[in-house]
Structure 1
Amino acid sequence: MYANGDGVSQDYKAARTWYEKAAANNYTLAQFNLALMYFEGLGMPKNLEMSYVWNTIAEYNGNMQASHSRKLDERTMLPKEVAEAKEKADAIYTKILAGTYAGEGRLF
């Protein structure tokens, strides 16, 4: 809604807030959209590592677009950066599944 300006003024910062809440609750589309926002730098500084992290998490949840997007992220990252980002993704995903990921704000 906020990312596209559907019924409200377009506001990437508000979109990020809601995507983060939904992503922390393991909603795969929000995880993928958050990755895209990090990749493009919409409502936040561009961050390829975090794009990779959220694409990886969305891919773990079966999002094939995220799988493709993650592979594109990987093309411009050093092997060490990929390994560090994968570790971060694994740690966040483990916390999401356990219900202990605070992230930028869980809904419950």
Structure 2
Amino acid sequence: MTRQQFRELPRPELAEEMEQLLVSRFRATLLMDETEDLPLDVSYFDLGLTSLKLTEMRQALEELLDLSINANVLFNEPTVGRLLDYLVDAVSGPSQEMPGAAPSAN
């Protein structure tokens, strides 16, 4: 799904789709089985994610969502749930960049 497709969704559906995307990506990165629960309120570092893997995930999300995500956001939003909230706001908000986001390369 593209950023434009995400933006066209009503906010509740956007949050649901974004959560599925993030949970899927985090599970794959953490080598978790699909049946394993991924807690949304636990720091991803406590779940075993490294800074390098987090940087790779940020790059993949930026590409997928066509959105610049400042690395500080990942450390200020240290759980999947908080990152989810940030991304939903970033995608559903106006076209301008979110506070703390790096300027768009477009």
- Relative to the length of structure 2, the TM-score reads 0.33
**If each structure's helix is expressed as a fraction of its own residues, which one has the higher value?**
1
Q: Which has the higher contact order (CA 8 A, sep 6+)?
A: 2
